[in-house]
Structure 1
Amino acid sequence: MPNETAAELLAQAKKDYGTPAERQERQADARVQSGLARAHGAEAAQAPRGRR
C-alpha cells in the first residue's frame, strides 16, 4: 500500500466515495433527511400525550 501512486489513490477514493458531483448530491439528500427528522421531532414534541 505505501507504494501506491497518486493516480491509484485517486481511483480508490473515487471508487470509495464517488465523484464530487455524487458526493454533493448525497450531501443535499442528507440535508433534506435531517430537516425532515427535525420537523418530525418537533411535531412529536408538540403532540398530546396519553394520561400520566
Structure 2
Amino acid sequence: MPSKKETVAKLLAQAKKDYGTPAERRERAGKARLGLGQARTNGAAAAGTPRGRR
C-alpha cells in the first residue's frame, strides 16, 4: 500500500496534468472571459439586424 505522501504526490501530479498550473488556469479563464464578451457583442449585433424579406 502506498504511503500518504506517495498518494498525495500522485493525486497532485494527476491534477496538474488534467487542469494545468494555477497560472495556466488563470490564462484560460481570461481567454474565456474575452470570448464571452465577444459572443455577447455578436449576439447584440445579430439581434439588431433585420431578418427575412421586407
User: TM-score, normalised on structure 2?
Assistant: 0.83
| CA apart distance, 1:31 | 0.4
Identity value in percent? 68
Q: Which runs of 5+ in 1 are unaligned?
A: none
The structure that has the greater radius of gyration is 2
Alignment partners' CA distance in 1, 2:17 and 2:50: 48
Which runs of at least 4 in structure 1 moved beyond 6 Å after TM superposition?
A: none
Q: How many residues are matched?
A: 50
Alignment of 1:33-48 (within 5 A): 33-48=35-50
Q: Which runs of 5+ in 2 are unaligned?
A: none
